[in-house]
């Protein structure tokens, strides 16, 4: 089964009719919407990035039978070459914050990566997106400082607060994982405008029809 994770980029989209289900996991409960695919909205219960129960969310997807996941993520651009409004399909990720794990009581080392085949499928489905690049995860909920942005830009193209943790948990759970990122703003210090959450939400509203159409493509091809 295909699982889709939605965030700010799907916040204002008209989503297909799905049945809400609360799934109990060893890490807590998570809400999932079920139909021909499974949709999980990561900011359920109105939680900011640093308080999301990622372990419960990803475990819930695995429990209901999801075997591959496409995550939508809102991101900031770390380079003038990727302006707001762009789409990026990352090929790798790094994190400067703690990554959650389902393994509390044993040593288990996994090889973190974004699934190459699923990433290629997304690149084929969404040719208007930039295919490849590094996504870096910061803790949130604050945005990054100008100095942090300069440092991160040496190794990554886009920055967000969620996808690296989700990708790592997916691998621990045996799920294939890829992501499509909507670039909602220039990172702090790159653009002329002051970066605010309201600005990010406005970009999401502006591109909501595009998000709906991309979701439709993904479901038609991969579900």
Segment 150-207, tens digit of pLDDT: 999 999 999 999 999 999 999 999 999 999 999 999 999 998 777 777 777 787 778 8
Average pLDDT, the chain: 92
3: β partners = 38, 69
Least confident stretch, 13-17, 90-94, 129-133, 207-211: 13-17
pLDDT in the model for residue 48: 85
Residue predicted with more confidence, 156 or 110: 156
From start to end of the chain, where are the E strands?
2-6, 19-25, 28-34, 38-41, 68-77, 87-89, 92-95, 130-131, 134-137, 158-160, 176-186
Stronger pLDDT, 61 or 142, i.e. the higher one: 61
Q: How many C-alpha atoms does 113 have within 13 Å on its Cβ side? A: 7
pLDDT band at 149 (very low <50, low <70, confident <90, very high): very high
Burial class from Cβ neighbours inside 10 Å (0-12, 13-18, 19+) for residue 82 reads: buried
- The pLDDT, as a whole number, for residue 199 is 78
- Residues 121-126, mean pLDDT to the nearest whole number: 97
**Number of neighbouring beta carbons within 10 Å of residue 205:** 10
Q: What is the CA radius of gyration of the chain?
A: 16
Architecture of domain 2-222: 3-Layer(aba) Sandwich (3.40)
Supply the pLDDT for residue 33: 95
pTM of the complete model: 0.93
What is the pLDDT, as a whole number, of residue 196?
A: 76
- And the tokens for 193? 């405008």
pLDDT of the residue at 217: 95
Q: What percent of the chain has pLDDT over 90?
A: 73
Q: What is the pLDDT of residues 28-47, one digit of tens each?
A: 999 999 999 999 999 887 78
Whole-number pLDDT of residue 223: 86
Q: Give whole-number Cα distances, 145 to 152, 154, 189, 210, in Å.
A: 10, 15, 8, 30
Per-residue pLDDT, 171 = 96
The domain spans of the chain are: 2-222
pLDDT of residue 46: 78
């Amino acid at each position: 089964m295909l699982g889709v994770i939605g965030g700010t980029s799907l916040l204002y989209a008209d989503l297909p009719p799905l049945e809400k289900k609360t799934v109990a996991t060893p890490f807590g409960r998570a809400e999932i919407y079920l139909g021909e695919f499974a949709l999980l909205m990561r900011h359920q219960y109105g939680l900011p990035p640093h308080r999301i129960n990622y372990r419960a969310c990803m475990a819930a997807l695995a429990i209901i039978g999801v075997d591959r996941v496409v995550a939508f993520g809102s991101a900031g651009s770390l380079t003038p070459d990727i302006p707001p409004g762009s789409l990026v399909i990352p090929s790798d990720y790094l994190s400067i914050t703690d990554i959650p794990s389902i393994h509390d009581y044993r040593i288990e080392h996994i090889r973190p990566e974004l699934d190459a085949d699923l990433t290629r499928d997304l690149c084929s489905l969404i040719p208007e997106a930039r295919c490849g690049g590094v996504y870096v995860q910061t803790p949130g909920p604050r945005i990054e400082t100008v100095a942090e942005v300069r440092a991160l830009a040496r190794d990554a193209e886009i920055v967000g607060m969620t996808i690296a943790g989700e990708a790592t948990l997916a691998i621990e759970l045996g799920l294939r994982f890829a992501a499509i990122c909507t670039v909602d703003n220039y990172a702090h210090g790159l653009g002329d405008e002051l970066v605010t959450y309201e600005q990010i939400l406005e970009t999401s509203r502006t591109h909501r029809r595009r998000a709906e159409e991309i979701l439709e493509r993904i479901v038609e091809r991969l579900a």
